[in-house]
Amino acid sequence: MTREMLQTTARRHVLAAAATALLGTVWCVGFLGFGVGVEAVAYVFAPAGGVFAVASVLHLIRRSPEPDPVAARFWRGVLISVAVIASGYAWMAVDMLTHVSQAHTRSMPPLAAACAAVGFLIAIWTLGRVPVVAPGGAERWRMALDRTIAFLGCAAVLWYAGLAPMLSAREPWSRQAMVLVGLGLLVTVSAATKVSYIDGGPVDRVAMRLVAAAGGLPAGVAAVLAVRFGLIGSVPAQAFVLPLAPLLITLGVAAQIRADRGARREPVRPGTLLPYLAMILADVPLVAIAFGAPLRWPVRVVLIAAVVVTALVMVRQYLAYRENARLLRIARVQEERLQYEVSHDGLTGLANRALFRERLTAALAGGGPTSVLLIDLDDFKTVNDLLGHGVGDELLVSVAGLLRAQAGKNALPVRVGGDEFAVLLTGSDPDDLACRLLGALAHPISGHRLLVQASIGIADAAPGDSADEVLRNADVAMYMAKQRGKANSVRYADGMGEPVLAHMQLGGELRRALDGDEFRVVYQPLVRLDVNRVIGVEALVRWHHPERGLVSPADFIPAAERTGLIVPLGRFVLRETCRQAAAWLAEFGPDGLEEAALNVSARQLHDPDFVADVAAALAESGLPCERLVLEVTESAVLRGQQVSRALYELDRMGIRLALDDFGTGESSLSLLRAFPASIVKLDKSFVDGIEIDDGSPAATDARRAVARAVIQLAGALRLGTVAEGIESPEQVAALLDLGYTVGQGFYLGEPMTADGVANLLSRQRGAPAPAEQMVAFRSQER
């Protein structure tokens, strides 16, 4: 059955129960006002309303889709309770109807009263089984005290205002009736202390309140009627007061159905105000006594309850004091921890940048000698790339421990960020500390026994310097230390920042240059040495600055690497080279130009989109893959798995890879096996002096040893070779003698524009003497 049908049926039960109560009210008015009927009829309306209450609860239990076990258990208990109580009152109604003449003075049969009493006890047990908030520790004791205080306070008031006056009434009701009134009030008090501590849950709080009111409201009104009117008060009590209980039960069922449909109220903080309200209620009888109420034994019971409530409140306040003290201690510990975390690095435990600036500002305000060491680990990124970030973090922690040990108590070691550290010194010699640090870093550290080097910049605070000025000076000095070869320290001096600033500004102008189309691609010929014929070109980039003129690649390439702009710059060179090589291929045919090469940096290979960029450039230009050569340095090849994956993907695409500046690294021989190279380029340093013949065969062989070893190794591995930096015909002859067939250099051809290459290829295609044409073209270029 759908919830809509459930709700419709619940409304019908509510209307039926309301009609029963209304009918009883009409009858009561007719009997008391006009003498219509007999008194025994008054006892029929309560059990009649109970029938509708039982039907409503039974319908909820049987027809509710997917009932919750807790809610089903609660409503089964309510069903049994209502059925048993209705049975007791039905028994009494039958007894009264069979003794019509004695109805005014006849008491409820003991067995019927016992039946109703059992029903009330079942209701109390059912309410007690509903789970409340599940606190732990001191909170459990606080809740128990709160509920006890609330129970005693409410019970004291109901005893004083309800049940006790019935005992001393002029025409007291029977003991059975007073017991049932007391149980009804007990149901209300128990439910009040229970519902206030239920934080949501499957049983709706409003439904539970209505069920509790079904016991307390009729009992309270009945008590008032008994005290006020004596035995005649039983007529309205039975006719329209007790029938209110079934009506409230059916309203509770309707509230549960609404809650199951999603109309449940948001849970509030349980039991917040109830203990305080109970304390106020417990003091009401005391106020009455203060204004002259007689001190009888029912009042003494209330006084005892008030004393107990006061004692429990004191215990609760003591527990609250202890809990508040504990929370304050926790808050202080958390505040200290938070302050530590805000001012210290989470990985190394060193002071962070914020605390560093704070201490530096304080030291500068003190006026004493203050120095700052700025320490940057050299090539730390290689550790992360090759060994992983876990090993890199372990290395940083080891460096932090080394800084603590070397700095001492009078210095503040700091992790500025990444692989950059600092030390704040007041009154100590910064050069001595820098020397000790470099000496300590000369030995392997961390669990992996890694050897790491550092560049250290030193800046002394001059009078009037701000924290920013001191840090900027230390940064400039550290930059100069890196420029001087790393693994050393430099002290800042006046004027040192100007060239560094110029270099940084150069990096800042790179983006404008890319957007402003200030870069040009030039091409240096690759020449077959035996026939002096151009077979390919190497693409090189030049920057035509609008104010500085031609900027050297040695100046702007490092800046592009540092700023990351090498990626878009390399993309520009790649696309332009592919486009131009495809144009030459279309103009001069497949024999006109065999390959076009360009340099690729490690930063580009780390870019996850690099392989896609290469594929896109080839697709857009139409250049065949095998005619593109990408030149990579040995240091770039060693930059981790991302680089290795990119290189192997390029190799699978059919693009040839050249190992540039071969012989200058530390792992050249192993690289030839691990790296999918097609070409080896002999570095210029091994070509210089190769032509010298001073009459000593041994000296000549020594100068040619590396070049000879490279050509032999390349031949064994079936790799092509290119000799770089050829500057004389004698070098050409020496290289040909060693077996090199391809070379490049200023003697063979300087970097030239695309038009220059086109002119060269045009002359080469129609010229019978390529050697004479090359000499003539070199003369023309110069």
**Tokens, residue 584:** 């030459």
Mean pLDDT score, 698-704:
75
Instruction: Please report the pLDDT score of residue 2 as a whole number.
Output: 60
Span of 46-50, 504-508, 602-606, 626-630 with lowest mean pLDDT: 504-508
Please state, in angstroms and rounded to a whole number, the distance separating the CA atoms of residues 528 and 720.
12
Q: Taking Cα atoms as reference points, which of 219, 230, 212 lies closest to residue 181?
A: 219
Q: How confident is the model at residue 422 (pLDDT cuts 50, 70, 90)?
A: very high
Q: What is the mean pLDDT of the chain?
A: 82
Q: How confident is the model at residue 504 (pLDDT cuts 50, 70, 90)?
A: low
Please state, in angstroms and rounded to a whole number, the distance separating the CA atoms of residues 202 and 208.
11
Span of 292-296, 533-537, 599-603, 740-744 with lowest mean pLDDT: 292-296
CA distances to 150, 413, 420, 625, 690 from 431, rounded to whole Å, are 74, 15, 18, 55, 44
Instruction: Please report the pLDDT score of residue 445 as a whole number.
Output: 86
**Tokens, residue 445:** 């550290």
**Tokens, residue 416:** 């500025």
CA distances to 528, 677, 689 from 721, rounded to whole Å, are 11, 11, 19
Contacts of 194 (CB under 8 A, 6+ apart): 127, 128, 130, 132, 147, 208
- Residue 355 pLDDT > 80, yes or no? yes
Q: Taking Cα atoms as reference points, which of 578, 570, 582 lies closest to residue 609?
A: 570
**Tokens, residue 724:** 């770089």
Residue 131 DSSP one-character state: -
- Residue 571 pLDDT > 50, yes or no? yes
Annotated catalytic sites, by residue? 724
Instruction: Please report the pLDDT score of residue 549 as a whole number.
Output: 86
- Residue 410 pLDDT > 50, yes or no? yes
Chain-centre distance for alpha carbon 510: 36
Mean pLDDT score, 153-159:
70
3-class secondary-structure state, position 723: strand
Indicate left, alpha or beta for 750 from its phi (over 0: left) and psi (-120 to 50: alpha): beta
Please state, in angstroms and rounded to a whole number, the distance separating the CA atoms of residues 370 and 506.
32
Please state, in angstroms and rounded to a whole number, the distance separating the CA atoms of residues 74 and 127.
7
Full-prediction pTM beyond 0.75? no
Instruction: Please report the pLDDT score of residue 619 as a whole number.
Output: 95
More confident residue, 28 or 229: 28
Span of 59-68, 562-571, 713-722 with lowest mean pLDDT: 59-68
62-98 in b/e form (b: 16+ CB < 10 A) is eebeebeeebebbbebbbbbbbbbbbbbbbbbbbbee
Span of 194-203, 248-257, 328-337, 644-653 with lowest mean pLDDT: 194-203
Instruction: Please report the pLDDT score of residue 627 as a whole number.
Output: 94
DSSP 193-218: HHHTT--S-SS-HHHHHHHHHHHHHH
- Residue 236 pLDDT > 50, yes or no? yes
